[in-house]
Amino acid sequence: MPVMNIIQALNHTLMQEFARDDRLVIFGEDCGYFGGVFRVTTGLQEKYGEARCFDSPLSEQGIIGFGIGMAQKGLKPICEIQFADYIFPGYDQIVNELAKMRYRTGNQYAAPVVVRSPYGGGIHGGHYHSQSPEAQFLHTPGLHVVVVSSPYDAKGLLASALRGNDPVIFLEPKRIYRSLKEEVPLEDYTIPIGQAWIARHGKDVTLIGWGAQHHQNMEAAEALASEYAIDTEVINLRSLNPLDINALVRSVEKTGRCVVAHEAPKTQGFGAEIAAQIMEKCFLRLKAPVKRVGGLDTPFPNTLEKEYLPDAYKIKQALIDIVQY
């Protein structure tokens, strides 16, 4: 079984899915001949031609709008937004048109558009190349929101997104694009959107995260186990909408404690919604309040990136606070 990083796994999946479904097309800034700024689309234009993999003008609103129109004509477009920070010029098209297409047409038309974009910090990109905007789209019914955290997940989740019939915001953690490697099967497989993964079983406290943050969570859980004999159950959401709330409820009912961690600013982050749902559904089983750990409520800094991000040390301290509450 070959070892791949996330970029290689995404490229491998696109190659396979393009061969499987000739309705797929992909476009964005520099994603044609150049292969994308992170090289995810390398070789696609050469193999499948300029009609299926091509460059777009520097206009995110135009990229998304063009994708919506293509979807209405029977194609399955993949819109690449070069950085998640650049997605906001296309926000109106996403939340007012793409997300509402099925509803506004009484289910006569779908909008099977996948919007791919690298997100998050870790590369010293400053405030225009480091944001985590997932919560912006979770307030909009009609959108699936998926965040990958490994090469294996990248292949299985992207395949599911491309085979579905609903719009998907597909976020890829550029911090670990190349650094994280693991075995990825060459054969076809999918990971269902809406199914969380229990990456580590435990009995004392539940730790929830997604994307690149999942690896900081795992590091904190392992450190806590060796230093304090605290047994942490770590859940990787994979999909934020639909949310696998049943998996979270089962875990919290077992442990009685919960910490949610994410890169995005803590205030109004998706961790607040998870905390609210757990309080509603698990209140009588909780031994402590649900605790959130997130990025700072500031623009994303460049020189102070390490202080901004919720690293394993901050997560570990939050877990200790909850267990000792």
Q: What is the pLDDT along the chain (325 residues), one digit of tens a residue?
A: 899 999 999 999 999 999 999 999 999 999 999 999 999 999 999 999 999 999 999 999 999 999 999 999 999 999 999 999 999 999 999 999 999 999 999 999 999 999 999 999 999 999 999 999 999 999 999 999 999 999 999 999 999 999 999 999 999 999 999 999 999 999 999 999 999 999 999 999 999 999 999 999 999 999 999 999 999 999 999 999 999 999 999 999 999 999 999 999 999 999 999 999 999 999 999 999 999 999 999 999 988 999 999 999 999 999 999 999 9
Q: Are strands 239-241 and 144-147 parallel, antiparallel or unpaired?
A: antiparallel
Look up the pTM and report it.
Answer: 0.97
Going along the chain from its start, the domains and CATH numbers come out as 3-183 (3.40.50.970), 197-323 (3.40.50.920)
Q: How many CB atoms lie within 10 A of CB 223?
A: 17
The answer to whether the CB of 267 falls within 8 A of the CB of 104 is no
Q: How many CB atoms lie within 10 A of CB 137?
A: 22
Q: How many CB atoms lie within 10 A of CB 178?
A: 13
User: DSSP 3-state assignment of 145?
Assistant: strand
Q: What is the pLDDT, as a whole number, of residue 255?
A: 98
> Hey, which residues are catalytic here?
129
Q: Which residues lie closer than 8 Å to 27 by C-beta, 6 or more apart?
A: 53, 54, 55, 56, 63, 66, 67, 77, 78, 79, 80
- CA-to-CA dists, residue 127 to 122, 132, 200, angstroms: 12, 11, 33
Identify the helix (H) or strand (E) that includes residue 4.
Answer: strand 3-5
